[in-house]
Amino acid sequence: MNKKIKVFIAGDSTAATKLPEKRPETGWGQVIPEFFPENVEFLNFAVNGRSSKSFIDEGHLQKILDLIGAGDFLFIQFGHNDAKTEMERHTDPFTTYKSYLTKYIEGARTAGAHPVLLTSIHRRFFDENGKIQNTHGNYLIAMRELSSELNVPLIDMSKKSKLFFEKLGPEKTKKIFLWLQPGESVNYPEGIQDNTHFSELGAKEIARLVVEGIIEKQIKPLCEFVKVKEYNLNL
């Protein structure tokens, strides 16, 4: 195949490429290219703090639609910030959230591209029984419903991340998220305990779950180009 397959990512900080002064924080969109050969190109448009609404209102979706073409893919992952109360970001799960997501789907399809929905990744919030708590509420249900209504492939990252985090447990998941001791990183001299954003190791594990979903859903031709990546993660 001579033509590159382009995968555009529309999303929030969990996927976004991080500036050097924020490292070792890493978005899964930064590292997912490692799972594919050079003929699959990822264009990561994810932006920190954006919801399905603000991403559109600020013109980020239009930038994608100006570039995306027939046979390309648009991966769509929002929900972390849609529950925020301020008008610029807030959406209602079953009305405006679905409506905004539909704009991404229709925009991709109009260009001859293939939309793919991804539910939000869970935060590192465990209950007393070691089970992950759902901080995304009905946004997960709404996206699953929209996937069925519009016949869009869905990679259920909330389910995948829940199973993965519960398997690791509260202590080992600190390696997945941005947990640093004081003095461990020049960018975080006082340390940090972030239960939303990922370490580099964590981003690779989340990207692996995305790739797993691509294979499970038989999203062609992407699933045919996946490279086996083995990391010595020591989890």
Q: Residue 9 forms beta bridges with which residues?
A: 44, 75
Per the CB < 8 A criterion, the answer to whether 83 and 90 are in contact is yes
Note if 13 is an active site residue.
yes
Sequence-separated (6 or more) residues with CB below 8 Å from residue 14: 27, 28, 46, 77, 80, 120, 121, 196, 197, 198, 206
Question: Helix (H, G, I), strand (E, B), or coil: what is residue 99?
Answer: helix
Residue of 13, 158, 161, 199 with catalytic role:
13
Sign of the CA dihedral with 51 first, then 52, 57, and 61 last:
positive
* Token duo for residue 197: 């954003």
Residue of 136, 197, 199, 205 with catalytic role:
197
Residue of 165, 144, 145, 147 whose CA lies nearest to 209 = 165
Note if 148 is an active site residue.
no
Residue of 21, 171, 190, 230 with catalytic role:
190
Q: Write the Ramachandran bin of 200: left for phi over 0, alpha for psi from -120 to 50, otherwise beta.
A: alpha
Q: Which residues participate in catalysis according to the annotation?
A: 13, 190, 197
